[in-house]
Structures are given as C-alpha cells and as structure tokens.
Amino acid sequence: SMSLPQQLRDESDFDQLPDNIPVTATIADIEEKKGFIVYCRFVIEVKTKGNSKYLIYRRYRQFFTLHQSLELKYSAEAQPGYYICQLPTLPGKVFMGNKKEIAESRIPELNNYMKRLLCLPTWVLLDDLIRMFFYQTELDSQQVPRALRRLRPPTRKVYEPTHNLSFLLPAVFDFSSSGRLELSLKAGDVIFLLRRVNADWLEGTVRDKTGIFPESFVNIIKPLPESDSDEEGGASKSGNRAPSSYSCLRCYLLQPEGIDTRDICVEEDLSIQPSYKDLLSQMRGIFQVEDIALNYRDPEGDLIRILDDEDIALMVQESKQTGSKVKRPVNQFPWELLVTHAKDLTVYNTEY
C-alpha cells in the first residue's frame, strides 16, 4: 500500500471540527519537581479552534507514550492499510545529565513536534490519543503556574535603588534573567524589595543591581502592602521592615578571575556573634568550595585571616567602630566576610 502524502488541511474539513480541538501548543516554561525523584515538566499553553487558551503540564515521558501509541496506529510498518500518515519525529530519551538542562534543550524540538502534530490530517486530530494529551485535566487546571517566562510584564525604566529599603526577601530558587531588566537570582540571595510590578513580578535590588523577578522564586518575609499608591498613607513605609529576626550578611569570594558577591539571609539578630565553625560551613555551602579561609578587613583596609571564635569577636568589635561610617541597608550585619582559597596567600599585604 502506498503511504498517502501528508494531506493539506481541507478548509471545509477544518470548519467541521469541534471548537475544543487544539490548534497550537507552545511551551511557556519548565518546572522542576523535587520529590523523591527529580523530574521536569513542561508548562504548555494550548490554544483551541474556538480561541480558548489554557495550560497543561506534561513530562517528556508522556510525549514518549503518546508517540509510541500513534506509531502503533498510524505508521506504515505498524498496519498496512489506508490510515497511515507521516508522524513527526520525537527527540529521543536521554539517560544521563542534568534534568533541567535536558528539558531546556528539548523545548525547540518539542515545540516543533507539537506544531507538526497539530498540522496532521483532521481525522488524526480527532483521535482520542491526541485529544487526551492536549486536554486540560482536573489536575492541570488546579496547578498554579509560576511566573511564566514568556508572559513577562512590559519592561520599564529601572530607577536607582535607594538605600533604606523596606523589605528583605531570600530567594528560594535560582532565576536566570533573560534580559537586561531582569534580575538574576541565586538561591539564598537577599533581595531588597522596591515595588510590585504586577500579580507575578516584583522589582528589587540584589548586589547593587536592580531589576524585576518572579515572586514565586522568593520567600516573602513580610508581605507587600497591596497597593503602593500614596493614598495609603506614606507613613506606613517605615513600618514595613522585615522582622528583626532576619539579618543579611554580605560575603565575597575572592578569586584570581574575579569576585563573587553574595548576600545571605539568616534568622538571627544583628547583634549575634556567630561561631567560627558555623560561618565556615555556611560559606563552604554558599560558594561550593571546600578548602577556604575566612577573612575580614580591618579599619586600615587590610585583609585579616580569621582562625577561631576570638577572631570573630575582634571582627564584630571592630565593625562597631567603623560600621557607623558606612551606609548600609537596615538589617545588614555591620561586618562582611571575605572568603579566599586557603592556599592563596597573595591576598594578604605581607611584606617580610
């Protein structure tokens, strides 16, 4: 039997299709699920013939199962006969590597796959296999999407951050910005909040950069006032500090190739004097480097290596004297940690 050329969609056929038939489907985002196993699912925006739009959540394995079932039914090898059509190809399984990166790399291929699938002859589109795959299930409709990357708010001029900002937010997930106006976040970063842009996006400052970021990536310590209009009484601004139990520590990793700056948020009072051991393990975790030394700058600006709790006490003591001269945001520790590679002695101003 000859395989039919891919039929061009006949207008009259198409007109007779029900309104809820999917016409386009594009991936709007990836969500990483970290349960007992880590997997990624694609957030897909489906548009129907009747012009409705909804989101569905599908894993790669669901694409795979759909494709296998379609092959059994429609490929020339599977059943010689009239009902055969040229199915699009699906990217193969990948068994090794970072789930999120694999998912990212599949987006263009899967978008193309869905596009070609939805251009198949109308009798294939009416197949339950395809209809069920693109159908918005009860479970799909209950999901609350994070800020979808494709549905960002319109950008606007970003203004200079002011120092006495009212909120602190620790980032819960990494967020890679895709444009100049977005703020890249690393989990654990502390963001000073400036304002709400829309239902999903906030604007804030992190490590002296200002930009917008999705609210779902951060943990709001103190909720934003619903509106930032002035009628709400401008005086409320000062009452909006994060609870005093949260403090922010600025730390730097000094490396030959440059300085990596982080702000970390801890549930501690500003007056706390942490132990050397705790700080060391905290910094190893933050910078993912095992063999490190902790340092601080003395009032003369020299780097002093910290070796024990007494050194910490000295650092805290000295920061009280110099701290008042430096303008810092509220609830930021008056001392800062400079982390170096333990074997790197070039960072010290030593002259023998």
pLDDT confidence tier of residue 118, bands split at 50, 70 and 90? very high
Question: Sheet harboring 292-297: ordered strands across?
Answer: 258-266, 247-255, 337-341, 292-297, 303-306
Residue 265 has pLDDT above 50, yes or no: yes
CATH 3.10.20.90 intervals, the chain: 247-341
- Residue 235 has what pLDDT? 30
100 or 174: whose pLDDT is higher? 100
CATH 2.30.30.40 intervals, the chain: 168-217
The answer to whether 51 and 134 have CB atoms below 8 angstroms apart is: no
41 or 222: whose pLDDT is higher? 41
Opening angle at CA 305, ends 300 and 310, nearest 5: 95
Q: How far apart are CA 212 and CA 167, in angstroms?
A: 15
Residue 219 has pLDDT above 60, yes or no: yes
3-class SS letters over the chain: CCCCCCCCCCHHHHHHCCCCCEEEEEEEEEEEEECCCEEEEEEEEEEECCCCEEEEEEEHHHHHHHHHHHHHHHCCCCCCCCCCCCCCCCCCCCCCCCHHHHHHHHHHHHHHHHHHHCCCCHHHHCCHHHHHHHCCCHHHHHCCCCCCHHHCCCCCCCCCCCCCCCEEEEECCCECCCCCCECCECCCCEEEEEEECCCCEEEEEECCEEEEEEHHHECCCCCCCCCCCHHHCHHHHHHHCCCCCCEEEEEEEEECCEEEEEEEEECCCCCCCCCHHHHHHHHHHHHCCCCEEEEEECCCCCEEEECCHHHHHHHHHHHHHHHCCCCCCCCECCCCEEEEECCCCCCCCCCC
335 or 226: whose pLDDT is higher? 335
Average pLDDT of the chain to the nearest whole number = 76
Q: Which of 16-30, 72-86, 263-277 has the lowest mean pLDDT?
A: 72-86
Domain 247-341 adopts which CATH fold?
A: Ubiquitin-like (UB roll) (3.10.20)
Domain 168-217 adopts which CATH fold?
A: SH3 type barrels. (2.30.30)
Q: Which of 31-40, 172-181, 194-203, 260-269 has the lowest mean pLDDT?
A: 172-181
CATH 3.30.1520.10 intervals, the chain: 17-151
213 or 151: whose pLDDT is higher? 213
The answer to whether 210 and 183 have CB atoms below 8 angstroms apart is: yes
Burial 135-149 (b: 16+ CB within 10 A, else e): ebeeebeeeeebbeb
- Residue 161 has what pLDDT? 38
Instruction: Domain 17-151: state its class.
Output: alpha beta
324 or 347: whose pLDDT is higher? 347
Q: What is the pLDDT of residues 230-242, one digit of tens each?
A: 333 333 233 333 3
Residue 311 has pLDDT above 60, yes or no: yes
- Residue 285 has what pLDDT? 85
Residue 41 has pLDDT above 80, yes or no: yes
